[in-house]
Amino acid sequence: MRRLDEAALSSLPASVARPLYDRRAVRTGIVHLGLGAFHKAHQAVYYEAALNSGDLRWGVLGASLRSRAVRDQLAPQGNLYTVTAREGADARTQLIGALRGVLVAPEDPTALVSAMAAADTHLVTLTVTEKGYKLDPATGALIRDDPDLAADLASLAAPRTAPGLIVAALAQRRAARLKPFTTVSCDNLPHNGKRLRDAVFALAAHHDRALRDWIETHGAFPETMVDRIVPATEEADIDALDGRIGVADRAMVKTEPFSQWVIQDRFVGERPDFAALGVQITDSVAPWEDAKLRMLNGAHSGIAYLGGLAGIEFVHEFVAIPAGRAFVEALWNESAETLSPPPGLDLPAYRTALMGRFANSALNHRTRQIAMDGSQKLPQRLLAPILVRLERGQPVDTLALAVAAWMRWQEARDDAGDTYVVDDPLAARTAGSANLSASDAVAGLLAIDAIFPPALAEHPGFRTALTSALGALRAKGARGTLEERFA
């Protein structure tokens, strides 16, 4: 089996799109924190387009904040990897050359900080997942007793968190009389730019008030909306790609044809010509962000828990079941009414396109993958629209069913009795309520104020809807409940 690397380039079939530029001439203009499948299939593809257009400032130094696996996959390949967009029988593969190197932050945090502080670095982008911001999901306040954040509050000599790395690097830039870089959160958080800025300000102020003020005056933390479905790569994907292109790419990513990136028009210094790369630059990102979080991600989370409990492995299988599809439509009916769609977003067309994306059977997007970290995802995806509807006195039955399915998921046993690990930073807390009666379980989980704001926790109608939905899920299973409510 031949491994992908520079030498293998000449043997690739002509159908594989490849770098149109000289990789040796590329400079590193971007440091990316949280190098994972999503970055590789989303932002990196836009940077690759910038390089292909001849603007060689936008090579990427990727950093993994924890594991060395990504570096170990990429290093033998000269940091080359492929992105394959699949739909039906169609698979289009592009070789990405934008990645210039990979650092593993815990191995050498100071090298990473120096790279971020380099004069050529104009953008620091992040995909560190919701929990990587060290913020309370309900309120957005810093979780000061998080062990890694506590270490960064004590000293920034060897930062451990994303906000810590950013503050340390900005301090070096200030000392070197350089401008800050633009810091771009690309995670599915509400107001991701503001949340990241708040975390950075709080940490900077703790160490050096003047540094905080300098960042406020000179820095930029644009809001963004990012969208591309990127299922985790499996061995079978690597084998299938090998069969098609004749090389083994252990760093490959698979995705869908669709991709969208909306960035608030707020930058310091140089940036790629984003508009020319198909990125939407706008003053108002929030309406895009809300629509995406509540429609795509909200439905995803509902599918993840109901599907996971019912033993449905993949998203496309869930929406192939009429009651599953009807559940998604009903959830969208509730969520859509809470949105103010931005100019250019036609909600009915958006819904049709989204259902088509969910139905993409070439992706094999696992419900279990989406079920991860529910405590961090629920507030912006499901609880935000519920709050709006309850304030208006509107029913929330379908959204509440999705939340109840998350509650039932905390029991770590699906409808067939098979056990699994609840992969969530708050799993130890949610487990305490899992085996109580439905009303006690609901009360116990609603009391977790890191997830549920008081207005929801104390709402009697919401509590009743959850208790009845949780009771139904336990008695009839997720599949039975879906069939009963949506068939």
Please give the residue ranges that form the binding site for ligand CS2 (CB under 6 A): 188, 227-229, 296-297, 300, 369-370, 377
Residue of closest CB approach to ligand CS2 = 300
Compute the distance between CA of residue 274 and CA of residue 297 in angstroms, rounded to an integer: 25
Nearer to ligand CS2, 161 or 188 (CB): 188
Nearer to ligand CS2, 100 or 377 (CB): 377
Single-letter residue type at 357: R
Calculate the alpha carbon distances from 69 to 36, 91, 92, 104, 255 in Å: 10, 26, 25, 9, 20
Token couple for 392: 């208006």
Closest CA to 474 of 419, 415, 400: 415
Nearer to ligand CS2, 40 or 300 (CB): 300
Nearer to ligand CS2, 53 or 297 (CB): 297
Nearer to ligand CS2, 225 or 446 (CB): 225
Least separation, in Å, of the C-beta of 256 and ligand CS2? 9
Least separation, in Å, of the C-beta of 229 and ligand CS2? 4
Partner residues linked to 94 by β-bridges: 17, 83
Least separation, in Å, of the C-beta of 227 and ligand CS2? 4
Compute the distance between CA of residue 481 and CA of residue 99 in angstroms, rounded to an integer: 47
Dihedral angle, C-alpha 244, 247, 248, 249, nearest 10 °: -90
Q: How many Cα atoms sit within 13 Å of 85 on the Cβ side? A: 15
Compute the distance between CA of residue 205 and CA of residue 207 in angstroms, rounded to an integer: 5
- Cβ neighbors of 69 (< 8 A, separation 6 or more) are none
Least separation, in Å, of the C-beta of 226 and ligand CS2? 6
Nearer to ligand CS2, 114 or 369 (CB): 369
Nearer to ligand CS2, 297 or 361 (CB): 297
Least separation, in Å, of the C-beta of 47 and ligand CS2? 18
Maximum CA extent, the chain: 66
Compute the distance between CA of residue 121 and CA of residue 102 in angstroms, rounded to an integer: 15
Least separation, in Å, of the C-beta of 300 and ligand CS2? 4
Closest CA to 257 of 357, 369, 187, 358: 357
The C-alpha angle 167, 171, 176, rounded to 5 degrees, equals 150
Closest CA to 299 of 320, 322, 327, 261: 327
Least separation, in Å, of the C-beta of 205 and ligand CS2? 31
Nearer to ligand CS2, 32 or 300 (CB): 300
Nearer to ligand CS2, 159 or 298 (CB): 298
Least separation, in Å, of the C-beta of 189 and ligand CS2? 11
Token couple for 126: 């992040």
Least separation, in Å, of the C-beta of 386 and ligand CS2? 18
